Structure 1
Amino acid sequence: MQLYPLKFSPIFCYRIWGGDKLKTVLNKNYQEESIGESWEISDVEEFNTVVAEGELKGETINNLITKFTSDFLGKSVYQNFGEEFPLLIKFIDAKTPLSIQVHPSNKLAKVRHNSFGKNEMWYIMEADENAELIVGFNQKVNKDTYLEKLENGTVLEILNAEKVKKGDTYYIPTGRVHAIGAGVLLAEIQQTSNITYRIYDYDRVDAKTGQKRELHNDLAIDAIDFEHHKNYKTNYSAKENESNTLVHSPYFKTNILKLTEGVTKDYSNLDSFVIYMCVEGDAVLESNGAKYQLNLGETMLIPACLNDIHIKTKGATLLEVYM
C-alpha cells in the first residue's frame, strides 16, 4: 500500500460556547447542537482521527505512523516524536466567548500530566462585527495584582482585548492568558495536547450538566506568564502564489498561500509531513498522477515521502503547516 494525500474524518466536539458555523460556513456534516470544535487531525488519546478516503480509509493516524514511520512523518520528526503525532489541527466556532484560560509549558505539562505543552496559533477565518479576542495583559501586572482582580471578579480589566477581522493571526505561547470571543470562526494549529487551565468562565452554567464548569486557578497561577507586550498580533506579508511566513515557532511552522493560479510545491528538502488547511476558496491537488479535491473548511495531510505537489485553483487561501 502506498501513501497519498490524506483527508481525515473530523471529530466534532460539543462546547458550551459552540455555534453552527462549522456546518453553515464550512459545510461540516453533523446533527448535534453547539458544536464548537472540528478536530481535523488528532492523535490525542481517545480522539484519534481516521482516514476518510482511499485505500487507507479507516486507518487511524496512529496506525499510519506505526506502518509507515518516517515515510509518513519525515525522518527527523519520527526521530523526535516516535509514534506520537506532534500536532492537533482544529477549526473553532465561538458563538459565545470561551473561558479565560492558559496552557502549561512543555516542562510543566510533562511533570503534571505526562503531556506536551500547548503552544498554539489562531488564523481568523471570519469575525462578526466588533468580535474580539483576549490575548495577554493590557498593562504591567504582578501575581498579587492578578490574584486580587481574580478574587473580586474584575480580572477582565487587566486583560488585553482586541477587535479582530478575517486574516488576523495570533501566536499563543504557553503561559499567555487568552480567550476566543463571541462571533469568531478560526483555524487553530497546536501541539498535541488537551491540557487547558480555565481561569474565569463568566459564571456560566452548562445546559448539558446543569453545573458551572470547573476552574483550575491553583494550577494556572504557576503557568501564567505575566509579561506585558505592546503587540500580540502577528504581522505578515501575503504575496500571491507563494509561501509567506505566518508563524514559525520551535513547535510548528505555518505559512500562508494566497493563490490566484496553480502552483507546484517541491518538498524534497523539507523532511516533514505537510498539512494544508483550506481557509478560503477551493483547490485540486495532484500527486503521482492522481487528483484530490480540497474545499473550504477541509484539511489534507501530505505524507513526507511525497515531494511534488501540484495545486490547481482559480482562487484559494491555504495554511501550509509542517515541522
Structure 2
Amino acid sequence: MKPYPLLFQPELKERVWGGRALEQFGLELPEGPIGEAWAIGDHPNGTTKVINGSLKGLGLDEVREQYGQKFFGSKGFSEKNGRFPLLIKLLDCQDDLSVQVHPNDTYQGLPSGELGKTEMWYILDAKPGAKIIYGMNDGVTREQLAQAISENRIMDTLNEITVETGDSFYIPSGTVHALGAGVLVAEIQQNSDSTYRLYDYNRLGLDGKPRDLHIEDSLNVIAYSNSGATFMKTNLESSNQWLTLAQSPFFITEKGKVEQSWKLQTTPESFIIHVICDGSGTIEWGDGEQQSVKPGECYLIPANLGEYTLTGSMTVLRSYLP
C-alpha cells in the first residue's frame, strides 16, 4: 500500500452556538446551526472517512487497524485507548460558547477509555471586536470561584481578550476558556470529547431545555495557579519557515507561509497534519503525484510518505507528535 496524503469527509455537528460560515470551505451543511466540522477524527462520537485515493471509503479507525503502524508512526497511537491520538476541528462560533474547562488524562471522573483534553486554537477569521475568555483573573481560588458561581457573577472572575485573525492560543487541560461570537477557528486537540461547563448564559439547548452544567467536575479539574496557557500573534516575516505556536506533551503545532516550493519530509515516529488556512497550492510526492489543496482542508500525511513538497501561495499549519 503506497502512502499518500489523506483527505477526509468532515463530520458536521449541530451546535446551539453554530452558524453557516463553514460553507465557505465548500462543505455542504445540513439544516440548522452547524458549529463544528470534525475534519480528522477517530472517536466514538465521530469517525471521519477518506474521500481521496485508493483508501476512499475507509474510516480513520479502519485505516488505523490496517495500516496504523506504518501510516501513523511509532508514536501515533494513544497509549490509553489505542486510537488515533488527535482530533482536528473547524469551529464556527456565531454565538458565545459555554464557559468550560477540560480534564487531564488522569482525572478519575473520565469515562472509561476517554482521554483528557489539551488543545490549541488558531483564529482563521474574527469579526471586529470579537472576544474570547482565556483563563481566570489572577489570584482567583477554588473557594472564590465557587462563591461567584453560586452568586451568578462568574463573569467577574474571568479574563477576556479581544482576538484577531492569526492569533494563536494554547489551552492545556485545566484552563478555563470560551470562544466568543464572531470567530472561525482551527482546533488541534487530544482525541477527546470531554468538556465540563461552568456557565452557559442561562441558554436553552437545541432540545429547548437548559444545557447541563458540570460545576463539581469543573472545580475539581481547574488549574488555579498556572495551567501553562500561552497565546501569541503569529505574523510571519518570511516564507518556508516554521513558527511554533504550541508545544505540548501531546502535539506540536507550527505555522508556515508557502510562497515557493517547500521540500519537507516525514519521520517514522509520527504522521503530520496540515491545515490549509488560506490561499491555494498543491502537495506533491512520490513520482510526480500531487494533490490540489484549498482553505479549510485538513490532510493527514502518513509517517512513511517520506519526502513531499508544498507549492503555491498559502498559509498552513503543521501538527505532529513530540
Deviation at 1:271, TM superposition (A): 1.9
State the match for 1:5 in structure 2.
5
What pairs up with 1:200-279 in 2 under 5 angstroms? Answer: 200-206=199-205, 208-227=206-225, 232-234=230-232, 238=236, 239-268=238-267, 271-279=269-277
Question: Does structure 2 retain, via aligned residues, the 8 Å contact 1:140–1:228?
Answer: no
Structure 2: distance between partners of 1:110 and 1:279 = 36
Q: Deviations over 1:203-236 (max 9, x none)?
A: 0112x31101011112111011112689842355
> Does 8-17 or 62-71 show the bigger shift?
62-71
Question: Does structure 1 retain, via aligned residues, the 8 Å contact 2:171–2:229?
Answer: no
Deviation at 1:76, TM superposition (A): 3.1
State the match for 2:37 in structure 1.
38
Question: Does structure 1 retain, via aligned residues, the 8 Å contact 2:104–2:173?
Answer: yes
Question: Does structure 1 retain, via aligned residues, the 8 Å contact 2:81–2:114?
Answer: no
Q: Secondary structure at the match of 1:211?
A: coil
Question: Does structure 1 retain, via aligned residues, the 8 Å contact 2:197–2:215?
Answer: yes
Structure 2: distance between partners of 1:158 and 1:31 = 37
Deviation at 1:82, TM superposition (A): 7.3
State the match for 2:97 in structure 1.
98
Asked whether 1:52 is paired with 2:57, we answer: no
Deviation at 1:80, TM superposition (A): 4.4
The verdict on how the C-alpha distance between 1:109 and 1:44 changes in structure 2, with shifts beyond 3 A counting, is farther
Deviation at 1:55, TM superposition (A): 1.2
> Counterpart of 1:19 in structure 2: which amino acid?
G
Structure 2: distance between partners of 1:285 and 1:57 = 18
Q: Secondary structure at the match of 1:240?
A: coil
Q: Percent identity between the aligned chains?
A: 35
> Does 225-234 or 282-291 show the bigger shift?
225-234
Deviation at 1:109, TM superposition (A): 5.7
State the match for 1:160 in structure 2.
159
Structure 2: distance between partners of 1:143 and 1:232 = 21
State the match for 1:184 in structure 2.
183
> Does 301-310 or 66-75 show the bigger shift?
66-75
Question: Does structure 2 retain, via aligned residues, the 8 Å contact 1:69–1:83?
Answer: no
State the match for 1:16 in structure 2.
16
> Counterpart of 1:5 in structure 2: which amino acid?
P
Question: Does structure 2 retain, via aligned residues, the 8 Å contact 1:237–1:245?
Answer: no
Q: Secondary structure at the match of 1:218?
A: helix
Deviation at 1:104, TM superposition (A): 0.5
Q: Deviations over 1:28-65 (max 9, x none)?
A: 22232200000000011141111011211110111111
The verdict on how the C-alpha distance between 1:264 and 1:110 changes in structure 2, with shifts beyond 3 A counting, is farther
The verdict on how the C-alpha distance between 1:277 and 1:147 changes in structure 2, with shifts beyond 3 A counting, is same
Structure 2: distance between partners of 1:7 and 1:109 = 35
> Does 236-245 or 84-93 show the bigger shift?
236-245
Q: Deviations over 1:118-172 (max 9, x none)?
A: 0000000100111001010122111111011111111111100000001100000
Q: Secondary structure at the match of 2:284?
A: strand
State the match for 1:146 in structure 2.
145
> Does 81-90 or 5-14 show the bigger shift?
81-90
Q: Deviations over 1:70-106 (max 9, x none)?
A: 2111123349477410000000010000000000111
Question: Does structure 2 retain, via aligned residues, the 8 Å contact 1:124–1:169?
Answer: yes
State the match for 1:127 in structure 2.
126
The verdict on how the C-alpha distance between 1:78 and 1:230 changes in structure 2, with shifts beyond 3 A counting, is closer
- What runs of 5+ residues in structure 1 fail to find an aligned partner? none
Deviation at 1:267, TM superposition (A): 2.2
> Counterpart of 1:249 in structure 2: which amino acid?
S
> Counterpart of 2:167 in structure 1: which amino acid?
D
Question: Does structure 2 retain, via aligned residues, the 8 Å contact 1:138–1:228?
Answer: no
> Does 153-162 or 219-228 show the bigger shift?
219-228
The verdict on how the C-alpha distance between 1:312 and 1:81 changes in structure 2, with shifts beyond 3 A counting, is farther
Asked whether 1:169 is paired with 2:168, we answer: yes
> Does 187-196 or 284-293 show the bigger shift?
284-293
